[in-house]
Amino acid sequence: MRHARSDRALDLQIHLSSVRIPQLSDPDDEYYWCVNDLELDKFSTKHTWEFLRPRGPVQDWTATVWFKGSVPRHAFHFWVTQLDRLPTRTRLASWGLPIDQSCCLCGNALENRDHLFLRCEVSQHLWSMITRRLGYRTFTFHTWTAFIAWLGSNRPSHSTTLRGIVAQATIYILWYERNNRLHNSISSSPAALFKLLDRLIKDTILARRNMKSFNGLLRRWLAFS
């Protein structure tokens, strides 16, 4: 064996040197899997994964991020946004980068999550068109907490599934527009963004028209157009 490079490696070598070499007359070896003090007859991927990555408590906002019929890339992006892990300008500046922290959409305030997606004049204009299309009176979101509460509310006259796919698509499109302005110097008006969103929502509903939760959703989306 090679020379040990650590005390733990040395202890292992000492232990191996003390183990008796197996003989042909010895009975066959037996093995078993032990996961979290639980002896198993065979390897269990589920038990091993649960032990290596213990589950945390279920969050109240889980259903607004992961629901049946959501667009995977929109849901993943919304999850990262919910955790406030997007590289907004204020977040990049907190890492020590010497950058301008003003909003890429309006330039009138610091670019953080709540401002970029809810309080910016561009996002507010887009949200006003969206809420009217969903059958609400025009209103604004002041905090991300209020936005998540709105998504999780249950009203018989409004579809939770439609509200979810529209909200996730809107957050995705606003981030796309932010990056397009920042990296490509190309900007679109709120009306153009809504047109893109409208096409995206229609395609999403048509692709899932055989799912029970999407039955009649296109009619609801077009009811106030």
Give the list of residues 6+ apart from residue 25 with CB closer than 8 angstroms, or none. Answer: none
Distance (Å, rounded) from C-alpha 80 to C-alpha 218? Answer: 28
Residue 36, SS3 per DSSP: coil
**Cβ-contact 148, 62 below 8 angstroms:** no
Helices (H), 38-189: 45-52, 62-65, 72-82, 89-94, 113-114, 121-133, 144-152, 160-184
This prediction has a pTM of 0.79
Distance (Å, rounded) from C-alpha 104 to C-alpha 118? Answer: 14
- The long-range contacts involving 76-80, CB below 8 angstroms and separated by at least 24 positions, are 77/168, 77/171, 77/172, 77/175, 78/167, 78/168, 78/171, 78/172
For the chain, the distance separating the N- and C-terminal CA atoms, rounded to the nearest angstrom, is: 76
Distance (Å, rounded) from C-alpha 155 to C-alpha 92? Answer: 39
Distance (Å, rounded) from C-alpha 143 to C-alpha 133? Answer: 22
Which of the 8 DSSP states describes residue 1? -
Q: Residue 206: what pLDDT? A: 96
Nearest to 224, CA basis, from 165, 125, 136: 136
Q: Render each residue's pLDDT in the chain as its tens digit; 225 residues.
A: 788 889 999 999 999 889 888 888 888 887 788 888 888 888 889 888 888 887 888 899 999 999 999 999 999 999 999 999 999 999 999 999 999 999 999 999 999 999 999 999 999 999 999 999 999 988 888 899 999 999 998 877 788 999 999 999 999 999 999 999 999 999 999 999 999 999 999 999 999 999 998 999 999 999 998
Distance (Å, rounded) from C-alpha 86 to C-alpha 171? Answer: 12
**Cβ-contact 117, 81 below 8 angstroms:** yes
Q: Residue 73: what pLDDT? A: 97
**Cβ-contact 188, 180 below 8 angstroms:** yes
3-state helix, strand and coil shares in percent for the chain, rounded to the nearest 5: 55, 5, 40
Q: Residue 37: what pLDDT? A: 83
